[in-house]
Structure formats: structure tokens, C-alpha cells
Amino acid sequence: MPLRAHIRELRNRVLLATLGLLAGAVVGWAFYPQIFAALQRPVVELASRRTEVIALNFGGVATPLDMQIKVALFAGVILSSPWWIYQLWAFVTPGLTRRERWTTIGFLAAGVPLFLAGAGVAWMVLPMAVGLLAGFTPQDAVNMIDAQVYLGFIMRMVLAFGLAFLLPVVMVGLNLAGLVRGSTWLGGWRWAVLLTFVFAAIATPTADAISLFALALPMVALYFGAVGVCALHDRRADRRALLDEDTGAASDPADRSAAAEPA
């Protein structure tokens, strides 16, 4: 596919993914009260256990509206994840054979649950992170948490965890497209483990080891699982290529003898 066609395809996929996100954001707007109640629950539960005042603060006149828009878009990203994950895969499939395009079902069956699993891990870690960070508040002080800062904190954690869990799916996709072999992924496992822990340390805002390992260990396991899938695909592809070569070599003498026979 020419470069211009690749750019056009990318533009179309981004547009379709954006439309899906906006559709999910409409649903998020409609259910904003329920979503916001769930988002602030860690703060409410923490405030009920401590003596000092801890609450979300809307610091401006337009802040509640801005907050509702951002929450709706955040919900749209989560709700439309099957759609934009499919668009990501559909951008890769033009480089695949017709047989390999059937893996779209497997890609979605793996990608969507992995993204949601990563977001779920972040949601489980979130109360602990909020409690640990707010725990530094002095005894008789007031901790009025800026609502937009708090939302940005949650969005970074949930999306970072969710996208991190998509790494093995991207690895397998690049392998199916013939861009990276499984042996290449395996050869860089030391760097992969190191970068995984660095990413986990950055993505988890708390300094506790539980949050770090809760993200890093599943990512490492998923990385090696993807390496195994890539290795199996490479073995089948190499076997198929060798069989094609043998079939072609076996047919050459017959073709030459047929061509040498007098008409």
C-alpha cells in the first residue's frame, strides 16, 4: 500500500474511532451522576475514616460543567474501547493475508478484555493510592482536593493500566504483519522487563511496592505470553514457506522436461 493510502487509511480509522468515542461520551453524559459518585467514592470513604476534612473542591464557576464534559469523555473512552480497539486492528490488517485477517475476532476477544482488565486493576489500586497520598495530610488540617486534578489523576491511572495491558496484542499484531519476529521480542526481554518496571513506577503515582507490582508483574507475564504466541506463528510460517519452496523445486524438473518435448 502506498504511503498516501496509509495516511488516508489512518485518517479514516482515527475519524471512526473518534465518532465511537463521542457516542460513548453521550452515554457518559447521561449517566454522569452515577459515574461521578463512583469516582469520588474513594475520597468519601477516606473522609469517613479520618478526623480531618477531606473533600473534592470545585474551584471555579465553570468547573462543574468542565468536570462533566471530561467525565463524559473519560466514560466514552472506556465504553467505546471495543470499537477503537477494532479500528486499531483494522489499520494493521491490510498488511495481512486473507487467512490471517480471520484473527480479527481473536484480536478483539483478547484486546477488549485485556484493556478492561488493566482498567480494573487500576480501579482496585485507586482507593489505596488515594488513601496513601491523602494520609500525609496533617492531623488538624483541611485537604480540599481539586476536582479536576483528582479526575486527571484517575484518568492517567486507568488509561495507563488499560493501554499497558494491550501491549501483548500489539506485539502479536506486529508479528502477524511480518514486521517483528518472535525471536526479536525474546531477544529483548531484559530491556522489556526493565522498561516495564520503569513504566509501572511512572504510571503508579504512589511509592508503595504493591501498586507497582500489581501493574508490572501482569505486564511481564503478558509479554512472555505474547512472545510464545509469536514464536508459534513464526514456526508455522517458516514451515509453510519451506513447504512452498519444496513444492516449487519439485515441480521445476517436470516443467523443464515438458518444455523440452517436441511439439
Q: Tell me if 202 sits within 8 A of 149, measured CB to CB.
A: no
* CA atoms lying within 13 Å on the CB side of residue 172: 24
Largest interatomic CA distance in the chain:
106
Averaged confidence pLDDT in the chain: 80
Q: Which of 81, 76, 145 is nearest to 68 (CA)?
A: 76
| Residue ranges covered by each domain of the chain | 3-251
pTM higher than 0.85: no
- Determine the Cα–Cα distance for residues 167 and 58; give it in Å rounded to an integer: 36
Residue by residue, pLDDT tens for the chain (263 residues) are 566 776 887 888 889 999 999 999 999 999 999 999 888 888 888 888 777 777 888 878 888 898 899 999 999 999 998 888 888 777 766 655 565 556 666 777 788 888 888 888 888 888 877 777 777 777 777 778 888 888 888 888 888 888 888 888 888 878 877 778 888 888 888 998 998 888 888 777 665 677 778 778 888 998 998 899 889 988 888 888 888 777 765 555 555 455 455 54
Which cell numbers in the block locate residue 105? 475476532
CA distance 126 to 150: 11
Strands 142-146 and 53-57, how do they pair?
parallel
